[in-house]
Amino acid sequence: MRIWNEEAECQPRAERAEEQTRNLERLVNRVYDDLPYYRTKMDEAGLRPAHIRSLRDLSKLPFTTKEDMRANYPYGLFAVPLCDVVRIHSSSGTTGRPTVVGYTRRDLEIWAEVCARFITAAGVGSDDVAQVSFGYGLFTGAFGLHYGLERVGATVVPASSGNTARQLLVMHDFGVTTLVCTPSYACHLAEAAEQQGLAGKLKLRTGLFGAESWTDQMRQDLEAKLGIAATDNYGLSEVIGPGVAGECLEARNGMHIAEDHFLCEIINPDTLEPVEMGETGELVITTLTKEAVPIIRYRTRDITRLDPEPCACGRTTIKMHRVVGRSDDMLVVRGTNVFPSQVESVLLEFEDTEPHYLIVLRREGHLDTMEVQVEVSDALFSDRMTDLRTLERALLDRLRSVLGIKVALRLVEPQTLARSEGKAKRVLDLRDGGAQS
């Protein structure tokens, strides 16, 4: 199997650590000098750049959270002037304000490079025709994979998201060998292909799946139905987008982290202390090389563990395992991030008391569905049926526009939604492997 950048990916670990240390020192100096946000945070912690001398010193640095990014919306964490920024991406916001990230030309180079690494590790190269079925837009998924695939010389088909019939037509007629999308959308495509009698007529051999967590069962289903090797990759827009880590075909047991660019730690989300290597906790990432929006100790809220064992593929980079949960209440529905607080903010537009609601997630076939059950309070209720229907429509419109996904709505009687220990249960996740919170 090919390795895209043997020098970086198979570098002796001690040598890599030296480079990481140098880059960390440079990063800390830079953000302290250029970004008031980091300088203030470090000053408050009594830290000077000179205090950061080794990778162990990393844990002295303050965390950065999504809230911090939002508070500095839109450009407060940009470390370069906008004339040096050549691209903007952003992620969905919980209450309207998204988090915004920028890329310099060199950031885009690095992004394509790290994507090329996991694309190559999945066995995809210049002989492949790759269909990118992520939505092209502010979301980082499509563009990250797009340029990474071009970098390895694959023939890129930018199909974007939606319109399953057209996706299958393109997949069949263009001789697509590599499918890029969320695992749940891949399952949906696999079923639609079966129904249309396309099973066995497709040239697919590899799936590059990301942007949501999935199970071994889903992987086996996808591999059987589509006749592919299904691989996992990881990334998030605050850090770069896809390309932070990805699986190698040889082991397919954990995702190799592009450690020369992303320094990963696992912390206990309650104590905020680093855990022992191999223990499960929250992933925290520091960007070592990013220019436009360097970020120190970003709390991803993703729960996973690191694996330092040598890998059969020959890469020396450590691996991160599949994300098994969240340390906040974020939900991923069809690859879109959803926070219960978004639903709450919509309901508050309609009534001024604390709304009672329950988000029910189901997997129908292979697609996630989201239903919002809303208790009809006296304020929402009317004796006129037309008023209730108008309310339903208005709520649905607002929910769809704020969440950016299709949702169903059900009006329910008060107190039908369970209240536990004074704190209402907001989410009922009935999907495989779904967590209840």
Partner 1 sequence: MTVRQLSVFVENKKGRLADVAETLASARVSIRALSLADDPDYGIVRLVVDQPDNALAVLRANGHTVKESEVIAVGAQDRPGSLARVLRALADADIDVDYMYATLVPGKPDVYVILRTHDNPSAMEALAAAGVPILRAQDVYEA
Residues that bind partner 1 in the complex, under the rule CB under 8 A: 375-378, 380-386, 388-389, 410-416
Q: What share of the chain is helix, strand, coil (3-state, %, to 5)?
A: 35, 25, 40
Q: Are 294 and 287 in contact (CB under 8 A)?
A: yes
Residue 199 or residue 424: which is nearer to partner 1 going by CB? 424
d(CA 126, CA 42): 46
**5-13 contact pairs (CB < 8 A, 24+):** 5/113, 5/116, 5/117, 8/117, 8/258, 8/260, 9/117, 9/256, 9/315, 9/316, 9/317, 10/314, 10/315, 10/316, 11/260, 11/316, 12/316, 13/316
Q: Are 297 and 63 in contact (CB under 8 A)?
A: yes
Q: CB of 153: closest distance to partner 1 in angstroms? A: 54
Residue 195 or residue 353: which is nearer to partner 1 going by CB? 353
Q: CB of 415: closest distance to partner 1 in angstroms? A: 4
Q: What secondary structure letter does DSSP report for 306? A: E
Q: CB of 334: closest distance to partner 1 in angstroms? A: 24
Q: Phi and psi for 275 in degrees, rounded to 5?
A: -100, 170
Residue 257 or residue 399: which is nearer to partner 1 going by CB? 399
Q: CB of 389: closest distance to partner 1 in angstroms? A: 7
Residue 43 or residue 354: which is nearer to partner 1 going by CB? 354
Give the burial class of 250: count Cβ atoms within 10 A of its Cβ; 0-12 exposed, 13-18 middle, 19 or more buried: middle
Contacts of 251 by beta carbon, 8 Å cutoff, 6+ apart: 311, 312, 313
Q: CB of 380: closest distance to partner 1 in angstroms? A: 8
Residue 65 or residue 373: which is nearer to partner 1 going by CB? 373
d(CA 331, CA 371): 13
Residue 171 or residue 372: which is nearer to partner 1 going by CB? 372
Q: CB of 411: closest distance to partner 1 in angstroms? A: 6
Q: Phi and psi for 371 in degrees, rounded to 5?
A: -120, 135
CB atoms within 10 A of CB 304: 23
Q: CB of 375: closest distance to partner 1 in angstroms? A: 8
Q: CB of 419: closest distance to partner 1 in angstroms? A: 12
Residue 88 or residue 411: which is nearer to partner 1 going by CB? 411
Residue 288 or residue 399: which is nearer to partner 1 going by CB? 399
Of 359, 343, 331, residue with least CA distance to 425: 359
Q: Are 299 and 284 in contact (CB under 8 A)?
A: yes
